[in-house]
Amino acid sequence: MGYGTAKVLKGLGATVIITGRRQDAIDQAAQELGVDAILSDQGKLEDIDSLVSQVNEKYGKIDILYINAGISGTSSIELEKPENFDTMMNINFKGVFFTLSKFIPYLNDGASVVVLSSVLATTISPGLAVYSASKAAVNSFVKTAALELASRKIRVNSISPGAIDTELFSKMGMDTETLNGMTDYLISLTPIGRIGKPEEIGQLVAFLSSDEASFITGSDHIIDGGSTLL
C-alpha cells in the first residue's frame, strides 16, 4: 500500500520520499517509481530520529505525512508471546505515534497526516487480538492528534482497509496454495466481488491530502469493498 500510494502521489507531481527497513526493497521501489528512499525501521526510535533529521536537512518542511508501516501475525490470547506482542505494538502503534510526534515541528501549517489503520480495529477476528488492539490504539490516537494540531490547520485522518492485494500474507509465511486459498476466501467475504488494489489506497490518501478535503479531520475512512457490512 505504501508503494501504491507513492505511485499515485508521484503521478500527481509530489516530491516523494519512501522509507522501509529493507534496503534492497526500498532501493528497487525507488528506482521503479523515480522517488527518493531512506532506510528506516518504524519499530526503532533511533531510526525515526534519523529519518526526521535526514528529511528536514534535504527537503525542509513537508506537506503530506503518510504513516503506513505495519506487521501482522496470528496467535490466540492464551498462547501469545510477550516478545511478539512487543514487536507488533512497537511497529503498529508506538512507531506510528512517535513518527508523527517527531515530525510535528517539520510539518507545514495546513499539512495532511494520514495513518494506515485497518477494519480490524473495529471488527473482531479470533487470533488477531494484538493486531486489532494496535490498530484500535491508532484510531484513538488519530482523533487526539487531530484536535491538538487543528490550530495549525493540520488535518489528521486514518484509513482502514479491508482485503488489499499486498505482500502481507506472503510475509506471514504462506505458500502459494495457501495464499491463493486465502485470497479466494477474502473475495467471498467482500460484496463488491474482489479485493482492493494498493493504488486505491493511494487515491484516498491523495484526496484526504487535497484542498477538497480541507474540512475533514479526525476521521477514519473505511475502504473495504463492503466487507464490514456483512
* CATH number reported for the structural domain that contains residue 109 in this entry: 3.40.50.720
Residue 59 pLDDT: 96
Please confirm, yes or no, whether 131 is among the known catalytic residues. Answer: yes
Question: Is 198 inside a domain boundary?
Answer: yes
Q: How confident is the model at residue 121 (pLDDT cuts 50, 70, 90)?
A: very high
What's the pLDDT tens digit per position in 152-174? 999 999 999 999 987 655 555 56
Question: Is 125 inside a domain boundary?
Answer: yes
Residue 35 pLDDT: 98
User: Are 90 and 84 within 8 A, CB to CB?
Assistant: no
Dist. CA 30–CA 67, nearest whole Å: 17
Question: Is 229 inside a domain boundary?
Answer: no
**Minimum mean pLDDT range among 42-51, 116-125, 161-170:** 161-170
Q: Is the dihedral of CA 225, 114, 142, 146 positive or negative?
A: negative
- Mean pLDDT along residues 97-124: 97
Residue 168 pLDDT: 56
- Joined together, the cell numbers standing for residue 207 give 484526496
Global pTM value: 0.93
Question: Is 230 inside a domain boundary?
Answer: no
H-run or E-run covering 113: strand 107-116
* Residue 9 domain boundaries: 2-224
Question: Is 74 inside a domain boundary?
Answer: yes
Residue 169 pLDDT: 54
Look at residue 230 and tell me whether its pLDDT is greater than 80.
yes
- Mean pLDDT along residues 58-78: 95
Count the domains in the chain. Answer: 1
Residue 49 pLDDT: 98
Residue 171 pLDDT: 53
What's the pLDDT tens digit per position in 77-86? 999 999 999 9
CA dihedral 196, 103, 101, 27 (to 10 degrees): 50
List 59, 106, 131, 185, catalytic entry? 131
Dist. CA 17–CA 60, nearest whole Å: 12
Question: Is 131 inside a domain boundary?
Answer: yes
Residue 182 pLDDT: 82
Dist. CA 173–CA 48, nearest whole Å: 27
Which residues have CB under 8 Å from 176's CB, separation 6+? none
Question: Is 40 inside a domain boundary?
Answer: yes
The pairing of strands 17-20 and 62-67 is unpaired
